[in-house]
Amino acid sequence: MYPTTHGCQCFEEDIDCITNNPLPNPELCKSQTIPAQGCICTSSYHPDKCICPSNTQDLNGIPSSQCACEANDPRSECAATQCKSQTIPAQGCICTSSYHPDKCICPSN
């Protein structure tokens, strides 16, 4: 996403970013083209390198390949599944007899 450089947020590969000259706040994406200040992904428009929304409810309709799964993510592909290791993914995982890392979700049965 954006590394912060002395008050200026820049795309990682943006060599034209000027320190201490922040870009205007990004608006919602209105097309598949990203404006200079960037834009926030929406279900209708989520071009490559758009900014993922901070509210997880706004992730509906945006593929997880575009915006990674988050905790409490409402997208079906981001639902917690059984833990497959001792590492918990961003969306959480359901404890199993084989894998039960700290803070995994207890099964309902």
Decide if 43 is inside a domain.
yes
Q: Is 73 contained in some domain? A: no
Is 33 found in the same domain as 12? yes
Contacting residues for 23 by C-beta, under 8 A, at least 6 apart: 8, 9, 10, 36, 37, 38
Q: How far apart are CA 39 and CA 90, in angstroms?
A: 23
Measure the CA–CA gap between 80 and 71, rounded to whole angstroms.
9
Is residue 2 assigned to a domain?
Answer: yes
What is the rounded CA–CA span in Å between residue 44 and residue 58?
Answer: 11
11 and 48 belong to one structural domain: yes
Mean pLDDT confidence for 76-101: 90
Domain count along the chain = 2
Of 50, 11, 1, nearest to 28 by C-alpha is: 50
The per-residue pLDDT for range 30-62, each reduced to its tens digit, is: 999 999 888 999 999 999 999 999 899 999 999
Residue pair 88/101 in contact by the 8 Å Cβ criterion: yes
Structural domain boundaries enclosing 88: 79-109
Task: Decide if 74 is inside a domain.
Answer: no
Q: Are residues 84 and 58 in the same domain?
A: no
For residues 60 and 86, state if they share a domain: no
Q: Which of the pair, 109 or 96, is modelled with greater confidence?
A: 96
pLDDT single digits (tens) 6-36: 455 565 555 555 555 556 678 999 999 999 8
Rounded distance between C-alpha atoms, residue 55 and residue 77, angstroms: 17
Is there a single domain that holds both residue 53 and residue 89? no
